[in-house]
Amino acid sequence: MLTQHAAYCAALEECGLTVTYLEADPDYPDSTFVEDAAVLIEGASMLTLPGAPSRQGEVESISKLIRSLLPAFNLQSIQPPGTIDGGDVCEADNHFFIGISQRTNQAGAEQLAGWLASYGFTSSFVDIRNENTLLHLKRGVARLSGNRLLVTDALAPRAEFTGYEHVRVTPDEEYGANCVMINDYVLIPRGCVKLAEDLHKAGYQTIALEMSEFQKMDGGLSCLSLRF
């Protein structure tokens, strides 16, 4: 896992990002999935309230880091009874898809949507509670560029995604839907051969990373970084 995590961080830097590392926290073994603890937009951040009580303590370290790195940011927090995981929030330019899941509830989604609206963003809710293979929305959909989404066969017919051009992920490579587009590259899990071919045909460069250890924990590529 440490080797795979190091390769992931190196790939972020290869794509042109500056990477800030948090100290390991043995009290929160899921804290490597930093994306779940906050939602970042230009000039502001919403600190989440993770749906798993065992993870709620992770938000404090993320809060301290954001205040240190981005002191001018306006920070707000999801309030109970709302819960939300960042993995349920998919940005698509000026619109946000917010997943209603086993971790993100209606109250949390509504708080986030109201906050986003105050900054001029629109949003829509995508209920995935009956999608047994999806812990978070971004396990099934990712924004690529322009009006294009990478989406699984299961989610592609959903009304929320009409009006977008789709790059489809086949059922046998469904894990690949959790990809990350950074500048000119798309990070994908190693082994998603058909997905890599389809992305290349669509004009994207890909970097394939071994994610097998994180996949065992329902984690994916987007989960491991909080990007701005």
Which of the following is catalytic: 90, 179, 192, 223? 223
Q: Is 223 part of the annotated catalytic residue set?
A: yes
Return the closest-CA partner of residue 171 out of 151, 199, 188: 151
Of the CA atoms within 13 Å of residue 28, those in its CB half-sphere come to 23
Burial 2-11 (b: 16+ CB within 10 A, else e): eebbeebeeb
**Per annotation, catalytic residue among 5, 9, 136, 166:** 136
Q: Are 101 and 141 in contact (CB under 8 A)?
A: no
Q: Is 166 a catalytic residue?
A: no
How far is Cα of residue 25 from the mean position of the Cα atoms in its chain?
A: 21
Q: Comparing C-alpha atoms, which of 59, 69, 85 is closest to residue 20?
A: 69
Is the bond into 81 cis (omega within 30 degrees of 0)?
yes
98, 92 in Cβ contact below 8 A?
no
Could you list the active site residues? 136, 223
